[in-house]
Amino acid sequence: MSTVAILQSNYIPWKGYFDLIAAADIFVIYDEVQYTKNDWRNRNQIKTPNGPQWITIPVRQVNLDQRICDSRISDTSWARKHIGALQANYARAPFFEQYKKTVFDELSQPREFLSEVNVGLIRMICGLLGITTRIIDSRELALQGDRNARLLDACKKLGATAYLSGPAARSYLDTALFQHEGIDVHWMDYSGYTEYPQLFPPFVHGVSVLDLLFNVGTDAPAFMKFLRP
């Protein structure tokens, strides 16, 4: 049995993103698709005394067909601003001091492309959470065909017996194609998460996973689905 999950990179994603990675044997970062503005690709939310706040990487969008992997960062001061926002809002979190150097060092890496920033952070956070799933770039697979065919092509090239998809793909995924190739399709369920001690009530589930790490540290797996201690 081998389960493959395929998803675009997001900027410091929420805990559900990492649960999907943890539930798979191989996770394919699929950034050779269209970059979408005002999406999770270049921004996420953190908790503040005034409620959730967006932190956004400025991206230069040249045309509507621009791919995520080709999207360049337009202002190099973003990392300093994001580090300042994290310091200001999480300094009193119980495990902020434990993780801040690792997180800030990764944020400070000089990178030109959005995808490089996202992948670096995703790999770093997987390490902090103890996720050992193999992570690869879809461009290594030379995928062919339309949207459904490319996903199927990735699964076949990776020897998948199961494909784990996010629920948003229900609107377009042709599951019959996968079943014809002997690949079972499973849908990620993001419901039923347990609340954890969090700064600045009321509780919000959908903020960056850094919120979970800064607040509960190594107990983070206890509040996730596929990383139970």
Residue 166 belongs to a domain: yes
Q: Is the per-residue pLDDT at 11 higher than 80?
A: yes
The pLDDT, as a whole number, for residue 199 is 98
At 87-139, the pLDDT tens digits run 999 999 999 999 999 999 999 999 999 999 999 999 999 999 999 999 999 99
At 161-170, the pLDDT tens digits run 999 999 999 9
Q: Is the per-residue pLDDT at 181 higher than 70?
A: yes
Q: Which helix (H) or strand (E) holds 116?
A: helix 114-129
The pLDDT, as a whole number, for residue 48 is 98
Residue 228 belongs to a domain: no
What's the total number of domains in the chain? 1
Res. 227 pLDDT band, cuts 50 70 90: confident
Residue 211 is given by DSSP the state: H
pTM score, whole prediction: 0.96
Phi/psi of residue 131, each to 5°?
A: -85, 125
* Distance of alpha carbon 73 from alpha carbon 53, whole angstroms: 20
Residue 174 belongs to a domain: yes
Q: Which domain holds residue 146?
A: 3-223
At 31-64, the pLDDT tens digits run 999 999 889 999 999 999 999 999 999 999 999 8
- Cβ 217 vs Cβ 98: under 8 Å: yes
Residue 229 belongs to a domain: no
Q: Is the per-residue pLDDT at 220 higher than 70?
A: yes
Q: Is the per-residue pLDDT at 188 higher than 80?
A: yes
The pLDDT, as a whole number, for residue 212 is 98
Question: What does the mean pLDDT of the chain come to?
Answer: 96
Strands 43-46 and 53-56: antiparallel
Q: What is the mean pLDDT of residues 3-29?
A: 98
pLDDT above 90 coverage of the chain, percent: 97
Distances, alpha carbon 71 to alpha carbons 45, 86, 115, in Å: 21, 24, 7
Res. 226 pLDDT band, cuts 50 70 90: confident
CA-based end-to-end distance of the chain: 23
Distances, alpha carbon 89 to alpha carbons 5, 45, 47, 93, in Å: 33, 12, 7, 8
Residue 65 belongs to a domain: yes
* Distance of alpha carbon 44 from alpha carbon 48, whole angstroms: 13
* Distance of alpha carbon 157 from alpha carbon 25, whole angstroms: 14
The pLDDT, as a whole number, for residue 228 is 61
Q: Is the per-residue pLDDT at 214 higher than 60?
A: yes
Cα torsion at 31, 32, 38, 39 (round to 10°)?
Answer: -40
Residue 97 belongs to a domain: yes
- The type of residue at 141 is L
- Give per-residue burial for 71-99: e unless 16+ CB within 10 Å, then b: bebeeeebbeebbeebeebbeebebbeeb
